[in-house]
Amino acid sequence: MTAKRCRIGVVATGSRFDAQMAQRVTALSERTYGEAGPEIVFHPQCFLGEGHFAGPDAARAGAFLEFANDPSFDAVWIARGGYGAGRLTDLVLPRLKPAAAAKAYMGYSDAAALLGPLYALDFPHVVHGPMPADIARPGGEAAVLRALSWLAFRAPEALEPSVRSGAPTAAFNLSILSTLIGTPWQPDLTGHVLMVEEVSEHMYRIDRLLLHITSNRGVRRAAGLKLGRCSLIPQNDPDFARTEEEVARYWCERSGIAWLGLADIGHDVENKVVPFGLC
């Protein structure tokens, strides 16, 4: 019997995606996997534009719901980041059907503003991982293939190395996790290894974000915190005089959260896959 071909639907929850990049992603998959590879379906909504966004909120929510509620899809893959996913939460979550809980959802950065609430609803296959837009980065084909290898084949080499430690995991951009804190969509991180990363934020803002996050009682019930890469940090004036690792260690010690070291995640082509919950 021929194995069922994985079917992946791509939607843009934030900024517009480029049609040429979509073609590159599809061609890369076909070149790598041939007929055994996944079928990747880019929703036409990905290519809409309304200012910053890939179409109005209703169009982005509608595309997400169309693919999430369609039982023929095995996964929903967020096309790219860029602010916008959080605007869809109240438009999407009440309208999800039982078929939506059976599939995987992958993205990172702004996408976690929707992925985190899905996990809060006990969706079992929420995943931090590379997105189609990563193909535009130098060396980005490796990131895209890492995501596809997990979505289509559950390849263990795609995972962040510490994922299989036996503890449940979760991964967030610091800014996005901070926006979920104290809302109805804050996921239960009790006993989780929490991995965080950041991009394009000053050190004082990284410090502020860690202060806010580690002050939360729910976060303090985590098994511990691992710090991913904090990249493109603007120069602070005056110099902040502490590195991101020093700041993370400080707030772990002050809050009583276990410091678990560094995580292999970040806004770069080395970004690894982290399933939410147990792998």
Is 217 exposed, middle or buried, given 0-12, 13-18 or 19+ CB atoms closer than 10 A? Answer: exposed
Whether the model clears a pTM of 0.95, i.e. scores above it, the answer is yes
Report pLDDT for 251: 98
CA distances from 169 to 4, 89, 138, 253, 278 (A): 29, 22, 28, 20, 7
In one-letter notation, the amino acid at residue 111 is A
What lies within 8 Å, CB to CB, of 97 at 6+ separation is: 68, 69
> What tokens appear for 127 in the block?
């995943």
Count of residues in the chain: 279
> What tokens appear for 96 in the block?
């999800």
Report pLDDT for 161: 96
Please tell me what DSSP assigns to residue 256.
T
> How many CB atoms sit inside 10 A of residue 204's CB?
12
Place of tokens 């147990």: 278
Q: In order along the chain (279 residues), what is the average pLDDT of each group of 10 residues? A: 83 97 98 96 98 98 98 98 96 98 98 98 98 98 98 98 93 98 97 98 98 98 98 95 98 98 98 96
In the chain, DSSP finds a helix count (H) and a strand count (E) of 9, 10
CA distance 46 to 218: 35
Please check whether residue 81 is in contact with residue 109, taking contact to mean a CB–CB distance below 8 angstroms.
yes
CA distances from 221 to 98, 122, 158, 215 (A): 30, 18, 27, 11
What lies within 8 Å, CB to CB, of 166 at 6+ separation is: none
Print the SS3 string covering 74-139.
CEEEECCCCCCHHHHHHHHHHHCCHHHHHCEEEECHHHHHHHHHHHHCCCCCEEECCCHHHHHCCC
Closest of 163, 142, 145, 162 to residue 153, by C-alpha: 145
